[in-house]
Amino acid sequence: MNIRTKDFRIKPGTEVHLSKWETYGKDDYKSHKEYHHIIKQHAEELSALQQLHYATNRHALLLIFQGMDASGKDGAIRHVLSGINPQGCEVFSFKQPSAEELEHDFLWRTTCRLPERGRIGIFNRSYYEEVLVIRVHPQDLFAQGLGADLHDGRALWKDRYESIVNFEKHLFQNGTRIIKFFLHLSKEEQRKRFLQRIEVPDKNWKFSLSDIHERKYWKHYVKAYEECLSATNTHHAPWHIIPADNKENARLIVSQIVLDTLKDLKMEYPKTTPKRERELQVMRKHLMK
């Protein structure tokens, strides 16, 4: 089954209004059995492409996951990338900045974690928190040691959007392919998932009072996301809005987008040169003795 991934990609220049994007969408599978079959097939394809990606060693792949609390970022990463060789992949979760990180510019801590060529890097949250959480809670800017002249309302966010766009263009021009996922969750579905985290003992650890506190700012986060997605969606680093109320379907869509991106790189294994062929034959003779 081939999912139409273009349906979830924001067209560059589009002003995003999240109310016009579905949070559930249609199912791309007919049963749970078919879902597990497709996700397994995707994992096998991704495993083969990852090996080719590593051998080719021409590009790095960076996946960025953003979304409201309980939107399914952890689950998407865990299920979609289950077939990947851990040696060729690194996952980083970015939470509240440390004292050291606050002494640098807002892109510094994520720049240190960028994937090498031939590898896949995954950011569970990212530098985008600096135009999302910080925008909803601008008082946190004071911890970043910025001068008063850098606290100039909308100009600050416009400058940060510009920094992000330029940064991602630089990465693209140097071989890094970036895929950005916004897991689009409804407020009602978040409520259900929060209740589940209370009612299911094995999920109690996932829930805290801060989650309830942040839920009060839902409309503020929606506005921040709409402006962020509109301002930072480009041809070289596109945003995809994934309907996240259905976790299983969201995982299928994400995995298909990753597969399509790797296939578009048109990779092939390095060809053996005459010199290398002679070396191999010498080694073969030694092994045959």
CATH number of the domain bearing residue 197:
3.40.50.300
pLDDT of residue 265: 94
Instruction: Read off the tokens for 95.
Output: 């939470």
User: How far apart (Å, rounded) are the C-alpha atoms in residues 129 and 117?
Assistant: 25
Q: How many structural domains is the chain composed of? A: 1
pTM equals: 0.93
Q: Which residues of the chain have pLDDT under 70?
A: 1-2, 147-152
Asked if 217 contacts 140 with a C-beta cutoff of 8 angstroms, the reply is no
- Residue 125's contacts (CB-CB under 8 Å, 6 or more residues apart) are 65, 66, 73, 93, 94, 95
| pLDDT at 206 (0 to 100) | 87
What residues make up the domain containing 15? 5-288
Q: What is the pLDDT of residue 112?
A: 94
Residue 185 · residue 245 · CB < 8 Å: yes
Mean pLDDT of the chain: 93
